[in-house]
Amino acid sequence: MARAKFKLLRFAIFAATLIVCGYILTRRSSTSTSHTAVDTNIEPLDVTKGTSGIPYEDDEDEDEEDDDFVPVVGAGTKDTTAKKNVASLPKTNPNPNPKPKSNGNGKTSAKEEPSFGGKEKATFVALARNSDLWEFADSIRQLEDRFNHRYHYDWVFLNDEEFSEEFKKVTTELVSGKTKYGLIPTEHWSFPPWIDIDKAAAVRQDMKERQIIYGDSISYRHMCRYESGFFFRHPLLDEYDWYWRVDPGINILCDINYDLFKYMKDNNKAYGFTITLPEYMATIPSLWDVTKEFVKENPQYVAEDNLMDWVSDDGGATYNGCHFWSNFEMG
């Protein structure tokens, strides 16, 4: 009986302690609240704004005029659909030179010649097909993010057929400079008149049967010929002194924090490339013999500080197969 009374007393003491603690905590909380200043003038958080205070794009506002929108070459009118579907590029270091207006065909109007400011007269050049659009979109985005959003160099796209409106719209939205679209002349994208068409077809068939890379591809041959001797003759490139070739599907793995075009000029560089590797000798069985014949007949074209020791191990008697890939090149 005594044990039961003791347990009951202990429980009563414990309950009283809890009540007192709860009362003390309640009093402190109410006192702290009564002394806390409340700013009733705080502006409600606007979920349509980012941390910079710039409104995000919203469907309800897409018909309103955007004061920050910069007309793009070849676009003619603002296209809010394309602007929403293509991620906007960084706007750091904006170009101090206003973009010249376009007459709609990719060429700058005569009244407003392009202003290069502190930049070099340079452009990216891309030989493209309409079917390459989304591979090119990825390449463009990488180059813009890694390099060109700082400098706003132009882009020139060349094709042996007319570019689609979709290609023009998407690529124009992605770049920070101007875009220009050119058609390659037929005579630059075909067999020259001195080529024996039947003999060429027979050679392609033989190479196909021997499973030589690009052995039977006509378009690949046209592309190599055009990139080697004709692209820089296109009228769209007349206003530029420098070019940077871009192919679909390339990857730029690090930021480029200096102007490569300016570096080339300041250091008296005429040409730049990144990859050298042995040639597929089966694809060029007669190249070196023809080259030596040309050099013999035209010695005035051979520079004194040439790279013969790089491409030949015996003073030019034979070709060692060393060559550079022009998929990335500047000049």
Catalytic residues: 329
**195 CA to centre of own chain:** 37
How buried is residue 114: exposed, middle or buried, by Cβ count under 10 Å (0-12/13-18/19+)? middle
Question: CB of 182 within 8 A of CB of 236?
Answer: yes
Distance between CA 170 and CA 85 in Å, rounded? 9
Q: Which two tokens stand for residue 99?
A: 């973009």
Distance between CA 264 and CA 44 in Å, rounded? 53
Q: Could you say which DSSP state residue 199 is in?
A: H
Distance between CA 122 and CA 26 in Å, rounded? 73
Question: CB of 83 within 8 A of CB of 183?
Answer: no
Distance between CA 227 and CA 250 in Å, rounded? 17
User: How far, CA to CA in Å, does 242 sit from each of 34, 155, 170, 269?
Assistant: 71, 12, 25, 11
**18 CA to centre of own chain:** 69
Distance between CA 312 and CA 233 in Å, rounded? 30
Rg (CA), the chain: 34
User: How far, CA to CA in Å, does 166 sit from each of 68, 145, 159?
Assistant: 23, 22, 14
CB atoms within 10 A of CB 79: 15
Beta-strand runs (E) in the chain: 122-127, 154-159, 179-183, 242-245, 272-273, 276-278, 322-324, 329-330
Question: CB of 184 within 8 A of CB of 222?
Answer: no
